[in-house]
Amino acid sequence: MLTEQTQSDQIGLVQVYTGDGKGKTTAALGLILRAAGNGMRSYIGQFLKGRQYGELESLKRLAPLVTLEQYGLNSWVHADHVTPEQRAAAQAGLAQARAALLSGDYDLVILDEVNVAIFFGLLTEAEVLDLIDNRPLQVELVLTGRRAPQSIIDRADLVTEMREVRHPYTRGIAARQGIEF
């Protein structure tokens, strides 16, 4: 039974949020809120994202408990046309994420959209598996994004697949500021 544990001796698990439904990043941000409410320190590295999103402003208010870095450029990544600059940004981001994970400064590390970065070929499965395998055991690691590779799913302790049942986009309703971004 896990009673009266301190944060430093708590066992961290690997979580994956994947699937075509909405809510993967939102679920990860919910963990950050819970962790901050318990005095835990969190790091979120966002792959593919280099634009302004609503969560950026909110997370700034949780500093110094929460650190957020974006590893994307201010442009969309297209699977059939990945640029060398996009690949370099993802690789640099992976190095930053590794440093944060191994630093001992964080209880929770989230790699947002890392599964999509693998799918687009910006990162390799082997690179991310190495990160999982070499993480400190007390750090909770969360990987989000559609199309999580089976190898990542197999290494995870918890896997949640978001499944779209209905989405307003199919009715012509565009993404709304404050709700989808």
| pTM (predicted TM-score) | 0.90
Asked whether residue 86 is domain-assigned, the answer is yes
Asked whether residue 121 is domain-assigned, the answer is yes
Spatial separation of the C-alpha atoms in residues 151 and 140, rounded to whole Å: 18
Asked whether residue 174 is domain-assigned, the answer is no
Asked whether residue 176 is domain-assigned, the answer is no
φ, ψ at 43 (rounded to 5°) = -130, 130
24 close to 145: Cβ distance less than 8 angstroms? yes
Asked whether residue 170 is domain-assigned, the answer is no
Asked whether residue 2 is domain-assigned, the answer is no
141 close to 15: Cβ distance less than 8 angstroms? yes
Query: Cα 168 to the chain's mean position, in Å?
Result: 24
Using CA atoms of 76, 80, 84, 89 in order, give the dihedral in degrees to the nearest 10: 40
CATH number of the domain where residue 57 is located: 3.40.50.300
pLDDT digits (tens, 9 = 90+) for 133-160: 999 999 999 999 999 999 999 999 999 9
Reading the block at residue 158, the tokens are 């918890």
Asked whether residue 37 is domain-assigned, the answer is yes
37 close to 14: Cβ distance less than 8 angstroms? no
Split into its structural domains, the chain has a count of 1
pLDDT tens, the chain, 181 aa long: 334 555 556 899 999 999 999 999 999 999 999 999 999 999 999 999 877 888 889 999 999 999 999 998 887 888 888 999 999 999 999 999 999 999 999 999 999 999 999 999 999 999 999 999 999 999 999 999 999 999 999 999 999 999 999 988 889 999 888 888 8
27 close to 159: Cβ distance less than 8 angstroms? no
Spatial separation of the C-alpha atoms in residues 109 and 140, rounded to whole Å: 6
Q: Order of strands across the sheet with 108-112?
A: 66-70, 42-46, 108-112, 140-144, 14-18, 158-161
156 close to 15: Cβ distance less than 8 angstroms? yes
Structural domain containing residue 134: 9-164
Asked whether residue 61 is domain-assigned, the answer is yes
Using CA atoms of 141, 88, 55, 80 in order, give the dihedral in degrees to the nearest 10: -100
